[in-house]
A = this chain, B = another copy of it.
Amino acid sequence: MTTSDRPRGAALRQQVLDTALALFSQQGYFNTSIHDIRKEANVSIGAIYHHFGNKERLAKALYDNLLEAMAEEVANATAPHHGCLGQCRAVIAVLFQLSEQQPQVMQFVLMAKHREFLREEPPICSSRPFAAMRLILEQGIASGEVRNIEPWVAATAMFGGALRMMNLALDGVLTQPLDSYLDEVVECGWRAVQA
């Protein structure tokens, strides 16, 4: 305890990111001070500012990392599938899994209002994973698997229910694990858009 268990270098940087994620997702960005992070991560204020410059850039680094990782997960999940339904199901399945296994990540990446603290950030619907989801529906329309409706409507119809279920799960409203609803949620989304 006394003899500096403190991380250093890259490990320190990661420790700060992990702690920031935990606190931001639990309390929100504005309810979390740099001092809170310093204390919880067992590092110094100076180290945090050395690595990240300021509080907003810390949040941005965290957001970029996690969003990119999520985009990768989504891309990997859909890769094996070629049909529109299969891809949609894979996306929802991986999002549900992430919501259960890394709820803090989903809370921070999908449910937070980033634009309140990351002033220059575009809306999340234009980010990589969401663009991928919209593209899947556009391709489904092109191939005739999906009805010929407005692409935004198709994407929100297919995934809107799933996203709201994730919201409920993260808010602790659901009694059953999210995975147990997967089949029904996919079925509903697909019925909404299928040709």
- Residues of A whose CB lies within 8 Å of any CB of B are 27-28, 30-31, 111-113, 116, 123, 125-126, 149-150, 152-154, 156-165, 167-168, 171-174, 181, 184-185, 187-189, 191-193
Total copies of this chain within the assembly? 2
> How far apart are the CA atoms of A28 and B174 in the complex, in Å?
28
Which secondary structure characterizes the binding site on chain A? helix
Question: Residue on B with the closest CB to A180?
Answer: B150
Q: Which residues of B contact A27 (CB under 8 A)?
A: 116
A31 touches B184 (CB 8 A): no
> How far apart are the CA atoms of A6 and B133 in the complex, in Å?
51
Q: Which residues of B contact A164 (CB under 8 A)?
A: 156, 159-160, 163
Knowing A113-B112, A191-B191, the reply to whether A168 touches B184 (Cβ < 8 A) is no
B156 touches A168 (CB 8 A): yes
Q: Which residues of B contact A192 (CB under 8 A)?
A: 157, 161, 188-189, 191-192
Query: How close is A110's CB to chain B, nearest CB, in angstroms?
Result: 12
